[in-house]
Each structure stands twice: as C-alpha cells, then as structure tokens.
Chain A
Amino acid sequence: MRALPSGGLPVVLEEESATPANRVDAFGFLRELATRWDAVALIIVFGLIVFLGEASRGLFEPLSKLQATPLSLDPRHLPFYAARTTLRMFAALFLSLVFTFTYATWAAKSSRAGKLLVPILDILQSVPIFSFLSITYVFFMSLAPGRVLGAEFVAIFVIFTSQAWNMAFSFYQSLRTVPVELIEAAESFHLSPWMKFWQVEVPFALPGLIWNTMMSMSGGWFFVVASEAFQVGHTSVALPGIGTYIQTAIERRNLGAIGWAIGAMFVVILVYDQLIFRPLVAWIDRLRYEQDPSARPPRSWALTVMQRSRVISAMTDAFYAGVRWTSWAMPIGRPAPSSQVQGAERKWNWVWMSVLGAILAFGLWHIVRTLIAGTTLREVLEVCGLALLTMVRVFVLIALASLIWVPIGVWVGLRPRLMAVVQPIAQILAAFPNNLLFPFTVYGIVAWRLNPDVWLSPLMILGTQWYILFNVIAGASAIPGELRYAAENFNLRGWLWWIRVAIPGVFPYYVTGAITASGGSWNASVVAEVENWGSTQVRAHGLGAYIFDATAAGDFHRIILGTVTMSLFVVAINRLFWRRLYYYAERRFRLG
C-alpha cells in the first residue's frame, strides 16, 4: 500500500466540551494537588496499563495448552480477545517505528545506500503479506519454542509487514524533502547531527508519518484478523483474539457470534480512534510546515484532557527535557574537514552495502535453486495464468469501484458540510476489518449457489475501495473555487462538466488512490479467493488461491513460486502502468 500524499485528508472538526462556570468547591485543597483533568487523564492512562497487563496474561503459557483448549464463543470473552488483538497491533506498531527510524533514515542520509534500499522497499511492498507468514513462521516460533509467545511473534511480524513499508516510505520521502533553509539554519547554528535529526528532521516528518501510521493501522486490522489463526502445513495455531473468534464462529456456522464480533470491533476502533488518533492529529497540527492560519485546527477532547492535566504535562515536559539532555550529553567533536568525513562515510557505506549485498545474493541464489529444483515449466506457466486471472479481476474491480465512488467522492468533496459528516463515517468504515464481513458473503454464495469466481471478487476490494473515495474527496475539495465558479458562470453542466472540470480536477488524486487500492487488492486476494463456511469451501481461480493452498499444504516450493510471481506482477504493473499514469496525470492536470 502506497503512501498517501502528505496532508491530503481533511480532518474532522470536533466541538470542545462545555465546562460549567461555577462549581461548589468542596475539596478546594485537593485542587492544589491535581485538577479534574488530572483525574480523567490518570483514569485513561492507568486504564491502558491495566488493559495491557490483562491482555498479556498467558503469553508465557505453553503452546500445547493453548492448542488443547478450544476457543469459547461466549460473548463475555470478547473484551479479552479484543484486548489481545489490540496488544498485537501495538507491538507491531512499535517494531514498525523502530524499523522506520533506522531503515528510512539510512536510506535518506546516504544516497548510495538509498539507491539499493528504496527498490528493496518497493519489492517488499509488493510481496503478499501472507507469504511473509508462511516463509518466516518457523523462525519466529523457534524464538520461543513451545510457548504461546512464539506464535504471537509470528502474528506480530505479519502485522509489522503490513505497516512498516508504508511508514518507512513516508518517512524517507519526508527526510528527503526537508526545506533547504531549515537544514542550513540548523547547520550554521552548530546543531550536531543527532540534534538536527531530532529537533528538525523528525518534527518535519512527523505529520506525514502519523497520517501514514493511522492509515497502516486501519489497514492492519485486516491482517490481524486473518493471521491470528493460521495453518501452515502441519502446524496450526489459534491465538486468542477476535480473528480466531470469527474463524471459530465460521466453523460452527454461528452467525450470531459473528455479529457480536463485529460489534466488538466497532467499539475497539471507536476507542482507539478517540483516545489515540484524534489527539495525535490535533497535536501534530502544531508541527505542520505549511503555515495556514486560516484553516481551523482539528480538535480532540482527549488531547485537551492530556494537555490540561498537570500530571501528564509534567511527564511530557520531563520527556522533552530528557530528549534535550541526550543532545547535551553527546560529546562535541571538532567538525572534521568535509573531505575526510566523506571518505569515512563512504567506507562505512561500502561495508554495510557489501553485507547487505551478500545477504541478498545468498537469498536470491537460494530462491532460484529452490524454484528450479521443485517446479516444472508447466507449473510456472500455470501460475502465470492464474496471475493473469487475478490481474484481470483487480483491474475490473478497480474500474467498478471507480465508477461508483468517483462520482460520490466528487459530490461529497464539493460540499464542505457534507464532507464533515461523511469523513468520520468513511474513516471508521475504512478502519473496519472487512474480513469480518466475509462470512456473510460466503454464506450468501453457499445458500444461493452463486459463482465464486464472480462473487468472491468484491471481497478483494471491499477494504481498499475507501482509498479511492478518500483521495477523490480530497481532490474535489482542492479544486480551486474560482474554477468552479467559472464553470457555473458559463453554464457548464452534465456530461461536459464532468469531462472538463470534475474529472481533470481530481485525476491526480484519483490515481494515487487507485494505486493504493490496486496494491491492497493484490494483497487481499490471498485471503479473499478461498473462503470457508463450516466444512464447505468456496474458491475462486487465481493466484491468491494458489498461495493460500500452498500455505495450507506447507509446500515451500509452491509458496515461493506463487510469491515471486505475484511480486513480479505487482512491481511490473506499478512501473509500467500506474507510475506512467501518475506522471501523465501530474503533467497534464497539475494546477499551476
């Protein structure tokens, strides 16, 4: 999934809660200690800590015990399962941040390294996430052999791969586009590289990074739910969580339980949206480099609580002071003449590059050897044929989704008040892991004996169509008012208005959304092309189904073959079609 244009989504405006003017001050002395904001803030923070503690119970239990106890479909256990699922998400998020700050920084700082690292990231983005699971699960389970923790590692890694590449790209692009004068100012005032990174480059990149994190989290729920209960060959693991709950419900054909799970997901998404994302978005408004004082800043009640609570403020002040202390504690060196610095840097780069190159070469050789050994030409052709099928499916779906959502997006984007209502709804829908809805579709297909090749396809685009909608809304709201008034003035209506005004206006944004939707759909195909309902299996023909089967059978060769094929197809389509379309859109339809 590609990064969205930075700052491309208008944010929902929220009303600040009214506070009563006069209160009876019975506990006046306590007010000296802590304001009422402190109380709310402390409840939130301690609630989170307790939640985390509860959720991590049972991490060190033996795996066998987990496999012995079947999952209960009792809705009373749902909060616990939701907590476990959320915990996995945040662990993966933390790992993604660590990866982003190291990998993207290295790629941005050293142009030589960047030439290799960025294409690697591109290819990693094209690998279906499920393949990561099947290829690496052995390694991760071996980290905590026989314990539940090992299986958790696998799930966390799968979620990590759905978030990390996107975030790394966004951070890399931000680091490369820091305004030159800020860098010059920082250098001329003798900011050390460490201080420059944390005080200049990170704050500049943070808004884009946070938007991308939000997008990734939203998309990540899909893979969380899909990866909690996996079966690779003879190993089958079912971790406690909402995903397993759903899968068990499917096995037992319990529609009611599925309904409970969907409800629980809505609650979870609402909670983390209010407590984490809205405050973050409101907070980073301060960091925005484009200073537009006329735009209303986004607000969040949770952020207001945190900012007004003295305890929390004390903690954050201490944190910032700590960050500044690290700059202070670093030794000042005399800046070496730049030629010497460049020489040393070049040497280190060669070392790291050769290590990376060696790893890559070894991996490549291994892959090729595996492929040649275990597969025949006939199989390769068969896989290519399946890939073409899936490709056709993806393009048709994108076209259909565009036909539906582009008009709606334009219509909404041109009406700001409507936008304020539609945006939060669409955001929640986008965050919702749509694989929770799959069982209903499958039930329908089984009950009415529909053709799975046709009717399983919409599942692929269910989650990714929102990117098209969001981007088109953003594009429509960005059409300059004067252009619209001119069109009105000249009585441009109907088909002519669409061809000459609306579509050219949103086209670059649309292409961005379509690229993201396309990549996401390929990914989703692995999960969407094979579905179960009880003991019945519904399947469509395509590369996703091929990879899914290979994973279930534990057939390493076929997993690799399928993954490599999908990766090559996605990269080729991106380079040959989507990128060209994007450049054409940029050149032809850019305003000014």
Chain B
Amino acid sequence: MNLSTPLLQVADVSKAFPRPDGEGELIVLQGVNLEVGSGEIVGILGRSGSGKSTLLRLIAGLSEPSGGTLSYLGERIHGPAHGIAMVFQSFAIFPWLTVYENVALGLEALRVPGAEIRRRALAAIDLIGLDGFESAYPRELSGGMRQRVGFARALVVHPNILLMDEAFSALDVLTAETLRTDFLDLWTEGKMPIKGVVLVTHNIEEAVLMCDRILVFASNPGRILTEIRVSLPQPRSRLDPSFRALVERIYVEMTARPADAHARAHGGLGIGTVLPRVGSNLLSGLIETVAAPPFNGTADLPKIASDLQMEIDELFPVAEVLQMMRFAEVAGGDIKLTDQGIAFANGSLDERKRIFARQLLAYVPLAAHIRRVLDERGSHAARRTRFFDELEDYMGEEQAEQTLRTIISWGRYAEAFAYDDESATFSLENPS
C-alpha cells in the first residue's frame, strides 16, 4: 500500500432522502470532505440529526451517496468493503450465538478455513479481554461485555479501518470509561491490526479524549462546521488545562451560530421552525440551576453540562429554546440569563406561568399563530390537522408531529390555549 494514499477519502459527498409525500428532498448531508490517513483516529462530532451516522453508513458501504465519491485505498466504495469493519451503538450481536460463534461469524462469511477461524477468533477474544466467556450467550453478559464482543467481531477480520458508531453511548459512565481506556491502550501499543479509526460521537469529552482530529458537524443539513486538531499526547487527562481549553473551544464553535441566524438565512424564522421536545420542567430546571449559586445567572456551558451530567444532545436543545424565548443568551460557550429569565427564576408558580405565556406568545411564532386563529374564529376551536398540514409545508411529517407535540405542551403550561387529544382539537377552553 502506498503510504501517501490516504486510507479513506470522502470527496464532496451529499445524501438526500426523498420526502414521503413526494415533495422535494430532505438533505441529510451536504458537501462533506474528509480524509483518513494511516495511524490516526478521526472523530465526527455533532448533535443528533447532523447526519453523522448516515455518513458512517456511507463509508461502511451500507448505502449509496446522492452525490460525491467515497474511496477506500483509492477504489470507489460499492457495498461493504473488505477491510472496513464497524462497531455498533446497540452492540448488534446475535442473541442466538455464543460469544465465540458471534466473533467467528465474520470469518465464516469470508470462507476462512476452519482451523484459522478458531485460532483468530480465540486470539481476538483474548485480546479484548473476554477470555473464558467463549461459550456464554449474550443474555448472560453485561452491556460492556457485549460491546467487547462487538469489538472482537470487528477486529477478528483484520480490518484496515475501524468505524465506531457511538460505540460507548449505550453504556453507563464507568463501563464506557473502562472500554475507552482499554481501547486506547491497545491502540497506542499497536496491538490491533487496524490502521485508522473513524469515530462518531455526540460526547465532546469523548472526542477530545480519543481523537487526533475532530470534525465538528452542524445540523440541517449535515455539514462540516470546523476541523480541530488535537495534538495532546496519550494518555490524556480530563483535568489537563489544554484538555479543558479544547472542550471549551468546541462548545464555543457549536454554539457560535444560533438557530435563528441560520434559519433567517434560509427563509425566515416563522412558524416553520422545528421545535425540539423540551418540556417546561427542563426549561424551569435549567433556568433555576443557572440562577442559583455558584453560577448566579451566568454559567460556563461545559461546567454546567458536567455538573448536570447532560450531554450536548440534551443540553443544547434546552439552551436554544431558552435563547429563542429570550430567557437567556448563549454566546462564547456561556449561557447568561436575561432579566426575564431572572424574573422567572425568582417568581412563584403563577408568576412563572404568566412570564412564560408572555414570552411564548411574543417570541414563538407558531404559538402566536395558533392563538390568533383561535381568537378569530367564532367557535374558538381549530382542528389539529389544520396546523399539521400547514407545518408540513415547511418540514417533514415526523418533525411536524414533534413540533406540534411541543407547542401543545408549552401552550398548556402557559395556559395560552387548550388541547383535547381524543378529538384532536385546539380550543380556548381554559384561557389565562
């Protein structure tokens, strides 16, 4: 293999899915360029919905790109390539096969002779630390052990590139940490046959801990925001100042473009904004936490994330909603409460509802729209489908569902309007 040929080359790749109702396409990935050389771990970091898993499946050959090319060792990728193996988030090991049979399955599919299968499978099981568990069934194993089986299965076929699709997300914190350090030990000691790793994660600290290069992704559509090189030597410590500085930098990058700026560039912040599933409890909880000591109104995002044990997929939507409703400002990796936010934190339950209602109707166009329609109609009632069809003009079916669910929840909390699930109608039955 020519050392100058990168292991993996992704050139201007895009992926779009046709909308179920046939109107246009949903663009999931746009203009992605990346290269993986020998001896490096490349991380793909982004929130859910930024297309990271889609990209990984394109690399794994499980689907075809809509545009652009993917090459492995200089050759186009058509279907799963020999030399690329994947570890899955939910382990994906077969419950009806023992550990040994699971690991040997890949070799059997490649028609490797029996004696060699046995030798390599046992070696892989030993390497990954499951020696003694060869005849155990997955249901007898804990989550961490099952993921080790996933690793052994991937390593036994001697791949050049290992793909990890959020491999540690389904594990508890302690087990994930153990697995990560074990993996990094094997990697730095060169005990694994792999030459390059592509790691997908939504955990910022995990990315900084493991990767040599991090590609930060944005959502809607999925595209590369920025590339960050991590040159800290292994083993890395989370408490190291350079480590923390990198984490802070990534938070800043990821919160640098507020949702409305992007939306404004793409046709207006109107009722067509997709609202995340964030309930009133989460919103009040975050406001209270930021208002209370030690933050006292201004909090460093990485600090609050680690204090509350929240990942970016949980924290960012809440922060964005607070920003949208002008309860807080998010900038430079910090979240700062506005006057309304502070008033909310200090108010009683009734006062909070009033403040929330005021901000909701002022700054969330969909809520104002629903209220206006209900006010104008004589019967003060409107069917859900009326708003659902309207939303579908701007977004896909699932997102429209989600947006409606969220606005119903907020409207009920604010007592701005009422909703009856049985008849699927909005009404002004209990207005404030």
Give A contacts to B, CB under 8 Å.
179, 181-182, 184-185, 187-192, 195, 199-200, 203, 286-289, 291-293, 324, 327-328, 332, 335, 337-338
* Contact between A189 and B139, CB atoms less than 8 A apart: no
Question: What are the residues of chain A within 8 A of B86 when measuring CB–CB?
Answer: 184-185, 188
User: Which single member of B78, B92, B137 contacts A337 (CB below 8 Å)?
Assistant: B78
Q: Please measure, in the bound complex, the distance between the C-alpha atom of A155 and the C-alpha atom of B197, giving whole angstroms.
A: 62
By a CB distance below 8 angstroms, the chain B residues around A288 are 95
Smallest CB separation, B62 vs chain A (Å): 6
Q: Report how far A504 CA is from B64 CA in the complex, Å.
A: 46
Give Cα A538 to B235, complex, Å. 89
- Contacts of A332 on B, CB cut-off 8 Å? 111
Residue in A closest to B63 when the chains form the complex, CB atoms: A338
Q: Are B92 and A181 in contact (CB under 8 A)?
A: yes
Q: Does B279 have its Cβ within 8 Å of any Cβ on chain A?
A: no
Are A187 and B92 interface neighbours, CB within 8 A?
Answer: no
Give Cα distance in the complex from A192 to B78, angstroms.
Answer: 15
Interface centre among A185, A328, A332, by most chain B C-beta atoms within 10 angstroms, is A185
Chain A nearest CB from B148 CB (Å) reads: 15
Closest to B57 in A: A184
Which of the residues B80, B96, B106 comes within 8 Å of A286, measured between beta carbons? B96
Contact of B111 (CB < 8 Å), options: A199, A293, A328: A328
B66 CB, nearest partner CB in chain A, Å: 13
Residues of B near A182 (CB, < 8 A) are: 92, 94
Inter-subunit contact A293/B96 (CB<8 Å): no
Give chain B residues whose Cβ lies under 8 Å from the Cβ of A289.
95
In Å, the complex CA distance between A203 and B96 comes to 7
B contact residues around A192 at 8 Å (CB): 109
Taking beta carbons and an 8 Å cutoff, which residues of B are in contact with A?
A: 57, 60-62, 64, 78-80, 82, 84-86, 88-96, 105-106, 108-111, 137-140, 153, 157
Do A188 and B109 touch across chains, with their CB atoms under 8 A apart? no
What residues of chain A lie closer than 8 Å to B140, measured between beta carbons? 293
A327–B92 touching, CB < 8 Å: no
Whether A327 pairs with B94 at a CB distance below 8 angstroms is no
- The interface residues of chain A lying within 8 Å CB-to-CB of B153 are 189
Contact (A188, B105) CB under 8 Å given A203-B96, A337-B78: no
**Contacting residues, chain A, for B91 (C-beta < 8 A):** 181
CB contact under 8 A between A187 and B137, given known A327-B108, A328-B111, A338-B64: no
CA distance A338 to B110 in the complex (A): 20
Whether the pair A184, B62 counts as a contact (CB closer than 8 A) is yes
Identify B88's interface contact among A185, A199, A292, A337, CB under 8 A. Answer: A185
- By the criterion CB–CB under 8 Å, are B109 and A191 in contact? yes
- The answer to whether B80 touches A190 (Cβ under 8 A) is yes
Q: For residue B101, which residue of chain A has the nearest CB?
A: A199
Q: Are B109 and A286 in contact (CB-based, < 8 A)?
A: no
A291:B64 contact, CB within 8 angstroms: no
CA distance A105 to B114 in the complex (A): 31
Nearest-neighbor residue (CB-CB) of A191 within chain B: B109
Instruction: Report yes or no: B78 in contact with A203, Cβ–Cβ below 8 A.
Output: no
**Min C-beta distance of B160 to chain A, whole Å:** 14
- Say whether B61 contacts A324, CB under 8 Å: no
CA distance A287 to B98 in the complex (A): 11
CB distance from A326 to the nearest CB of B (A): 12
Q: Contact between B78 and A181 (Cβ–Cβ < 8 Å)?
A: no
Of B85, B93, B109, chain A has the most CB atoms within 10 Å of the CB of B109
B60 touches A188 (CB 8 A): yes
Contact of A181 among B61, B88, B108 (CB under 8 A): B88
Q: Is the interface of A mostly helix, strand, loop or mixed?
A: helix
Given A286-B137, A287-B96, A338-B78; 20 other pairs, CB 8 A cutoff: A179-B92, A181-B91, A181-B92, A184-B57, A184-B60, A184-B62, A185-B86, A185-B93, A187-B62, A188-B80, A188-B85, A189-B80, A189-B109, A190-B82, A195-B108, A199-B94, A288-B95, A291-B95, A292-B139, A335-B80
- Specify the chain A residue showing the minimal Cβ separation from B157: A189
Given A190-B109, A335-B78, A337-B78: A184 and B139 within 8 A (CB)? no
Partner pick for B108 among A185, A324, A338, CB 8 A cutoff: A324
Which single residue of chain A is at the shortest CB-CB distance from B79? Answer: A335
Complexed CA–CA distance, A332 and B110 (Å)? 9
CA distance A179 to B95 in the complex (A): 12
Inter-subunit contact B105/A199 (CB<8 Å): yes
Please report the C-alpha to C-alpha distance between residue A5 and residue B145 in the assembled complex, in whole angstroms: 31
Question: Nearest 7 CB-CB pairs, A to B?
Answer: A185-B92, A181-B92, A189-B106, A335-B79, A291-B139, A203-B96, A287-B96
Residue of B nearest to A332 (CB): B111
CB distance from B162 to the nearest CB of A (A): 12
Cα distance A291–B94 in the bound complex, in angstroms: 11
Select which of A187, A203, A324, A328 is within 8 A of B80 by beta carbon.
A187
Known: A184-B57, A199-B94. A189 touches B105 (CB 8 A): yes
Complex interface: chain B residues within 8 A of A337 (CB): 78-79
Smallest CB separation, A207 vs chain B (Å):
10
Q: What chain B residues lie within 8 Å of A187 (beta carbons)?
A: 62, 80
Cα-based distance from A186 to B91 in the complex (angstroms): 12
In the complex, which residues of chain A have a beta carbon less than 8 angstroms from the beta carbon of B62?
184, 187-188
A324 CA to B101 CA, complexed, in Å: 12
**Contacting residues, chain A, for B78 (C-beta < 8 A):** 335, 337-338
**B residues in contact with A195, CB < 8 Å:** 108-109
- Chain B residues, CB < 8 A from A191: 105, 109
Distance from A280 Cβ to chain B, minimum over Cβ atoms (Å): 14
Tell whether, in the assembled complex, residue B111 and residue A203 are in contact, meaning their CB atoms are under 8 Å apart: no
- Cα-based distance from A332 to B79 in the complex (angstroms): 14
CA distance A324 to B61 in the complex (A): 25
Closest to B146 in A: A291
B310 to chain A, nearest CB (A): 23
> In whole Å, how far is B302's beta carbon from the nearest beta carbon of chain A?
31
Closest residue of chain B to A284 (Cβ to Cβ) is B96
Residues of B within 8 A of A184 (CB): 57, 60, 62, 86, 88, 92
A324 to B105, CA, bound (A): 10
Q: List 17 A-B residue pairs with CB atoms under 8 Å apart, sorted by A's residue number.
A: A179-B92, A181-B89, A181-B92, A182-B92, A185-B93, A188-B60, A188-B80, A189-B105, A189-B153, A190-B80, A192-B109, A199-B94, A291-B139, A292-B139, A327-B109, A335-B80, A337-B78
CA distance A133 to B335 in the complex (A): 76
Q: In the bound complex, what is the Cα–Cα distance between A289 and B108 (angstroms)? A: 22
When A185-B88, A189-B157 are in contact, do A328 and B108 touch as well, CB less than 8 Å?
A: yes
A188 CA / B153 CA spacing, docked (Å): 11
**Which A residue sits closest to B91, measured CB to CB?**
A181
The listed residue (B80, B94, B137) touching A200 by CB distance below 8 A is B94
**Which chain B positions have C-beta within 8 A of A188?**
60-62, 80, 84-86
- A residues near B79, Cβ cutoff 8 Å: 335, 337-338
Q: Could you tell me the distance in whole angstroms from the C-beta of B111 to the nearest C-beta in chain A?
A: 6
- Complex Cα–Cα for A347 and B106 (A): 32
Asked whether A189 lies within 8 Å of B94 as measured between CB atoms, the reply is: no
Chain B residues within 8 Å of A189, by CB: 80, 85, 105-106, 109, 153, 157
Which of chain A's residues have a CB closer than 8 A to the CB of B111?
A: 328, 332
Which A residues are CB-close (under 8 A) to B157? 189
Which of chain B's residues has its CB closest to A200's CB?
B94
Q: Which residues of chain A are near B90, meaning CB under 8 Å?
A: 181
A residues in contact with B139, CB < 8 Å? 291-293
Inter-chain contacts of A327 with B (CB < 8 A):
108-109
- Select the residue from B80, B93, B138, B157 with max chain A CB neighbours within 10 A: B80
Q: Output the least CB separation between B240 and chain A (Å).
A: 35
Q: B61 → chain A, closest Cβ, in Å?
A: 7
Give the chain B neighbours of A185 by CB distance below 8 A. 86, 88, 92-94
Q: Which residues of A contact B96 (CB under 8 A)?
A: 203, 286-287
The distance in angstroms between the C-alpha atoms of A188 and B88, with both chains bound, is: 11
Question: What's the minimum C-beta distance from B153 to chain A, rounded to whole angstroms?
Answer: 7
B94 with A203: CB separation less than 8 A:
yes
- Expressed in whole angstroms, the Cα–Cα distance for A188 and B93 within the complex equals 13
Docked CA distance A288–B109 (Å): 23
**Cα–Cα, bound, A328→B153 (Å):** 19
Residues of B within 8 Å of A328, CB to CB, are 108, 111
Give every chain B residue within 8 A of A293 (Cβ-Cβ).
139-140
